[in-house]
Amino acid sequence: MPDKFTAIKGMNDILPPDSARWEWFESIVRQTMTRFAFRDVRTPILEHTQLFARGLGQATDVVEKEMYSFEDRADQRGQADNLSLRPEGTAGVVRAAVEHNLLYDGGKRLYYLGPMFRRERPQRGRYRQFHQVGAEALGYAGPQVDAELILLAAELWRALGLSDWRLELGCLGQPDERRAHRAALVAYFEAHADQLDEDARRRLHVNPLRILDTKNPAMQALADGAPQLLDHLGDASCAHFAAVQDALRACGIDYRINPRLVRGLDYYNLTVFEFVTGSLGAQGTICGGGRYDYLIEEIGGKPAPAVGWAMGVERVLELLRQKGVAAPGAAPDAYAIVPDAAYFPRVLACLQALRAAGAAVQLHAAGHADGGDGLGSMKSQFKKADACGARYALIFGGDELAAGQVTVKALRDGAGAQARLSLSDTAALAVHLKSP
Ligand code: HAM
């Protein structure tokens, strides 16, 4: 047993004041999703391990070595399920759509926001519990939806005040095109077998595409010279890719074609894309996604096309923090200072009315170390008012209360002069506390 408990490595507590930035971010996400007609979906954090193995691909890093999986307790018949914490959201959303026959009356535009789990080596921007916002458009085949999803992400960056990103775009074609490319790739790497590192040799016949993603500088030249998938695409795939690009250009979204864009999960075909920032070091991918027209069938549904993306919330929030984007609503509007414990019942009644009228007010409350009646001196109360970031102190002194008033004192520049205001019109007082 440890002497002191700590959070599990790679899993973070989200505490005030940071949690205010999270709330603000989540509210922007929900507003933006609503404007794009995407609807909230919430699936369980635990799923059958097999869902991810089948859905994401047995040979992916995520399934091979990063899932938190365990054998559940046996049921009455002695059968135990193997379960996993979800490493991503797409497989669960697709499972739910198939299970509840969501596509019976046409396509569905769904989004989610929540924790995901991957047992990766923790570092800045890479955690074992992290959060994703994801958007999935199920049941749509046309390139318009691919473009619309990219526009949705771009609109989120705009609404959040982020401009430091670039969009990388690729096309993975269809399975037969990929098979032809894969054969060409294997032949190429086999012809250069002496230059392959151990990782590449292991991947050669399991997933040769991943070799293109090598981080080994000694293999860069070899990877650069490899046959390109874009040269193996047929007419339909080329037309789909061109239509996505036309739509992006028409909407003024800059992009860079990356012929080697390799996503870490196996379910993709046709369009793939990533939003990358230069401001986060090695973990610069803030959003990734693409088309996955075969996943629904793979998971047991009637064949239906789909496209989606997910963004890493921690990474986006770190970007916001770096850029100094301030989240509104982190501090209360006012802090109530109460010189005498006898006034509390009346003060509480006033605060109740102010809160009902929309003001955020924190009441000075006794701390266990404050001594006396526990309230502390006026000076220490003012110190606490200042420390909590409130714009105003509300001073509920005996004189004020006798006159049915409260003294409103500005604690921040620009919040106006000190004034005594009537408690009979709490709505007006609340407006005063909230006014810019
Ligand atoms: P992914 O590329 O594996 O795609 O993850 C999407 C994003 O989640 C990444 O770009 C990154 O920002 C964030 N992310 C991933 N792993 C971590 C981590 N360990 N720590 C912090 N952030 C991380 C998917 O998950 C797909 N389900 C996306 C998708 C949806 N494709 C179609 N629909």
Banded model confidence at residue 371, pLDDT cuts 50, 70, 90? low
Taking residues 82-106, report their average pLDDT: 98
With a 6 Å cutoff on the Cβ, whether 120 touches ligand 1 is yes
- Residue 372, pLDDT > 70, answer no
Domains of the chain and any CATH numbers: 18-173+233-322 (3.30.930.10), 334-434 (3.40.50.800)
Tens digits of per-residue pLDDT, 185-209?
Answer: 999 999 999 999 999 999 898 888 8
Quote the CA–CA distance of 323 and 157 in Å, as a whole number.
Answer: 13
Residue 310 alpha carbon to ligand 1 centre in Å = 6
Taking residues 314-343, report their average pLDDT: 89
- Residue 238, pLDDT > 90, answer yes
Residue 313 alpha carbon to ligand 1 centre in Å = 9
Residue 12 alpha carbon to ligand 1 centre in Å = 17
Distances (CA, A) of 158 to 23, 92, 154, 155, 162: 17, 29, 6, 5, 6
pLDDT of residue 402: 96
Is residue 366 within 8 A of residue 375, CB to CB? The reply is: yes
**CA-wise closest residue to 269 among 23, 57, 47, 17:** 57
With a 6 Å cutoff on the Cβ, whether 119 touches ligand 1 is no
pTM assigned to the model: 0.90
Tens digits of per-residue pLDDT, 20-45?
Answer: 899 999 999 999 999 999 999 999 99
Residue in 8, 131, 265 to alter for ligand 1 test, most ligand atoms within 8 A of Cβ: 265
> Which residues contact residue 155 at a Cβ distance below 8 angstroms, ignoring those fewer than 6 apart?
32, 35, 36
The residue contributing the CA closest to ligand 1 atom 1 is 288
